[in-house]
Structure 1
Amino acid sequence: MADSTEGDTDVQYLGLLVLALIAFIAGLVIYPFIIGVNVTDWWKGRSVTPVDHMVTSLGISRMCNQCANTLYLFIYPLLWRNLNSLVITLIGISYDFLISANMWLTSLFSIVLCLKISNFHTRLFLYLRGMIVHRTVYLIGASVLLSAVNSLISLLLTVPQISSGGTYNTTMANAMSDCADINYVYQVTIGVSFPLLFYCISSVLLFTSLYHHTTKMKMSSNLSINLETYYSVMKFVSITFIYNTVYFICYISCIIYYYIYCVNYDWLYIVLDFLTVLHSSYLIYKTAKLRSQMSKVLQDVADFLFQGKDTEIRENIEVVAL
C-alpha cells in the first residue's frame, strides 16, 4: 500500500510539473511579446501612454512571477533537504513579494483606467486624474517599493521565530507552531488585501460611470451613437474583476492551508499561473496595438509554414516529373 501511495504521489507530482511547464511555455510567448511591443515603440521614439507603461510593467511582473514559481516547482523538491529554515523563508517571502507586486500593479492599472475613462467631474476626481495619470512611472516604482517593504516586514516578523528554534516541519502536531507564524500570515494577507480594496473601488467606479453614460446615451434622441465601445470596456472591467478576485482567493487559500495543515498546495500556484496567462492573453486581445502586432506575428508564422509546405510540394512534383 505504501508503494502504491508513493507511486500515486509521483504521478500527481509529474502531472503538476507538466501543467506548470505548459503554463511556463505559454507565459514565455505572451509576456515577452507584451514587453517587446511597448519597449520597441519607446525605443523608436513613438508615443507611449500611461496604459502602455502599466501593461509593460504587468508583463514584467507576471513573467518574473511565473519564472519564480516554475523554478520553485522544479528545483525546490530536489534541494529542500539541504536548505535551512532561513533560506526557505527567503524563498517564500520573495515569491510573496512578486505576488504582492503583481496585485499592486493590477490595482494601479485599474485606477489609471478609471481616471482616464470615467466622466466624473468632482474636484477630487479631476485632481487625481491630473496627478496620477501623468506620474504613472513613479507610481509603478512606488508599488514595487511598497511590496518590497511589506515583504521586508514579513521577513523581520519571521526571523525571530526561526532564531528561537522554529523549523519547517511537516507533521500535523507541530503545524501551528512551526510552519508559519500567525503574524506573517496577517502581514501577507494585509499586503494583498489593500491592493484588492483599491482595485474593487476603482473598478466599481469605472463600471458605474460607463453604465450611467451608456444609459443616458440610449435615452437620447441620437440614434447614430455606437455603444459597442462602451460595452466592450464594461466587459473588460468585469472579466478583469473576476480574474483579480479569483486570483486573490487562490493565493489566500494557499497561505491559509499552509498555516493550518503545513502543506503546500502546489496546484493552486499553477492555477495562479494559468489565470495570469489567460488574463494577459485577453489583455492582448482587448488592446488594439497589441492585437494588431499579434495578428502580424501570426500571419508571418502562417506564411512561413505554408511557404515551407508549398516548397516541399513543388520539390516532390519536380522529382516525380523527372
Structure 2
Amino acid sequence: MARKMERMLILSAVGEFSMGILGNTFIGLVSFMDWVKNRKIASIDLILMSLALSRICLLCAILLDCFILVVYPDIYDNNEKMRIIDFFWTLTNQLSVSFATCLSIFYFFKIANFFHPLFLWMKGRIHKVILWTLLVSLVLSVFISIPVTGNWNDNFRSCVKGRKKTNFTWRCGINDNLYASTKLILNLVTLFPFAVSLLSFLLLILSLWRHTRQMKLNATGHRDPSTEAHIRALKSVISFLVLFVAYCLAFLIATSSYFMPETELAVIFGELIALIYPSSHSFILILGNNKLRQTSVKVLCKLKYILKGRKI
C-alpha cells in the first residue's frame, strides 16, 4: 500500500514539475527574447528571467530528491552526492525567495506614490537598485547555503531510509540538536525576504488608500490606470506571500518527518506540496503581466491554428 501511495505521489510530482517547467520556461524565454530584440533589458525582465531560472533549478532539485528517495534510495548512503543535492536545493530555494522579494520591491518603487526624498531618489535609480539587490541576493544565497555541505543532514537521511530498520532510535538520536538548530537558522533566514515582501505589500496598500482618497476628493473615477496598477501589483505580491507560507509549511513537514510513522511518505508528501509554490506562481505572474499575458494568448492561438490544420 505504501509503495502504491509513493508511486501516486511521484506521478503527481511529475505533473506539477512539468507545469512549473512550462510556465517558468515561458517567462524566461519571453524576457530573454525581449532583451535580444531591444538590445537592453528592463528591470522587470531581469527580475522575471532570474526568478524563472532559479525556479526551474528548484523544481529540478525537488523532483530529483523525490526520485532518489523512491527509485534510488541507495544514493542516500552516499553523503558526498547528497550534500551536493542539499546545497543545490538550498541555494535555488534562497534565490527563488530572494528574487521574488526583488519583484515585490520593484512593484513598490514603480507603482507606489510617496514623496519622501529617499523613496524618490531610489525610484529614480530603480534599475541600479534592482541590479544591486539581485547581486547581493545571489552572494547571500551562496553564503547561506554553505552550511548545508556539513554533515548535519546525514542523520536525517539515515532516519528517512532506515525507519523500518532496527536501532532506529539510536540512529535518529545522533546530532538531533545540531540538525534542529541548523534547520531553525535556515528557516529564520528565509523570514527576512518574506518580511520585506510583506512590508512592500502593506506600503502598497497604504499608497492605494491614499490614491483612492485623492481621487474621491477630486471627484474622479476610481478605476484609473494607477489604481489598476496598484491592484495588479497587490495581487502578485499577496499570491507570493500565500504560496510561500504554504511552501514553508511543506518544507517543515519534509524536514521534520522522521518523527512521523511513515517517514518516506511524509517526505514525498511535503515535497509534493512544496512543488506548488514554484509551479503555480509562474502562471499567476503570466496572468498579471500584460506582455506575458498577451504573448501567451498569441502562442495559444498559434497552437490552436496548427492543431486545426493537422486535423484538416
Structural mapping, 1:1-322, within 5 Å: 8-45=1-38, 48-82=41-75, 83-155=77-149, 158-159=150-151, 168-169=158-159, 170=163, 171-178=168-175, 181-223=179-221, 226=224, 227-255=227-255, 257-258=256-257, 260-261=259-260, 263=263, 265-309=267-311, 311=312
Whose radius of gyration is greater, 1 or 2?
1
Structure 2 residue ranges without an equivalent (≥5): none
Aligned length: 298
**4+ residue runs over 6 A deviation:** none
Name stretches of at least 5 consecutive residues in structure 1 with no aligned partner: 1-7, 312-322
Q: Name the TM-score, length of structure 2 as normaliser.
A: 0.85
8 A contact 1:24–1:70 mirrored in 2: yes
Cα 1:187–1:228 shift into 2, 3 Å: closer
**CA displacement at 1:178 relative to structure 2:** 4.8
Q: Which moved more, 1:207-216 or 1:230-239?
A: 230-239
Distance 1:201 1:223, change over 3 A: closer
Task: Tell me how far 1:283 sits from its aligned partner.
Answer: 0.5
% identity of equivalent residues:
22
More relative contact order in 1 or in 2 (CA 8 Å, sep 6+)?
2
Q: What does the per-residue CA deviation read over 1:128-157, in whole Å, with 9 as the maximum and x for residues that have no partner?
A: 3345532423422321221110011343xx
Question: 1:45-77: CA deviations, max 9, x gaps?
Answer: 255321111111111011111112112212343
TM-score by length of 1: 0.82
**3-state SS of paired residue (1:120):** coil
For residues 167 and 304 of structure 1, the distance between their equivalents in structure 2, rounded to whole angstroms, comes to 48
Kept in 2, the 8 Å contact 1:62–1:276? The answer is yes
CA–CA distance in 1 between the matches of 2:29 and 2:96?
A: 19
Rate the CA distance shift 1:237–1:87 in 2: closer, same or farther, 3 A: closer
CA contact (8 A) 1:166 1:177 kept: no
Contact 1:176 1:260 in 2 (8 A): no
Q: Deviations over 1:90-127 (max 9, x none)?
A: 32232122111111111111112111111111123223
- Cα distance in 1 for partners of 2:273, 2:251 equals 10
* Aligned residues of 1:167 and 1:178 also touching (Cα < 8 A): no
Going from structure 1 to structure 2, the CA distance change for 1:125 and 1:260 (only over 3 Å counts) comes to: farther
CA RMSD of aligned residues (A): 2.7
Give the letter aligned to residue 307 of structure 2: L
